[in-house]
Amino acid sequence: MEVLDRQEALVSNYEVLIVLQEEDQRHKKIKPTSHAKYPENVSTLKFEALQYLNGTACSTQSAAQIAALKSGLADYDLTKAEVLQIINLRPRKPVELYLIIEECEERFDETTIEEIMRAILSALPRDDDDEEGEEDGDEEAQSEGEMDVDQDHS
């Protein structure tokens, strides 16, 4: 088998989500009795991908936010893959950025990292900040409770 027209591009989770949602809507409009039925494994794959993507950062993003982020990061000489990972992972702390950007310490100083973080946080506001804060509080309370139990047995 030979590939005649190879088109290759990096796509964000947001773009995949939009395509899957559009395909899902198109498929729902087709009558179930028509012969354009999906194989079961394709439907399962589409369902699971939609379920996963709806639980990630891309479910609250918009095309305008992504465009704003790309223009905000244009001055920092990031690779396409690094920008894509920033879009997909939407880091909230500098340590997360260090994991995304290759040789981050050599390429950028702390001030530049803070500027990049500000660009990310302003272009891609997080809707899940409150939820994560509550989870962190629950974990801390649970850890403190475990410590109290250990101290009682001493």
C-alpha distances (whole Å) from 103 to each of 7, 36, 81, 91, 107 are 29, 49, 14, 17, 6
According to the model, what pLDDT value does residue 118 have? 94
- Where in the chain are the domains? 11-25+45-60, 62-123
- How confident is the model over 3-49, as pLDDT tens digits? 666 667 889 999 999 999 998 888 878 766 555 666 778 888 999 99
User: In the predicted model, is pLDDT for residue 64 greater than 60?
Assistant: yes
Residues 85/73, Cβ–Cβ less than 8 Å: no
Greater confidence (104 vs 5) lies with 104
> In CATH, what number does 62-123 get?
1.20.1250.40
* Burial class for 77, CB neighbours closer than 10 Å (0-12, 13-18, 19+): exposed
Mean pLDDT of 69-80: 94
User: In the predicted model, is pLDDT for residue 151 greater than 80?
Assistant: no
> Whole-model pTM?
0.71
Which of 58, 57, 76 lies closest to 119, judged by CA?
Answer: 76
Tell me, rounded to whole angstroms, the distance of Cα 59 from its chain centroid.
8
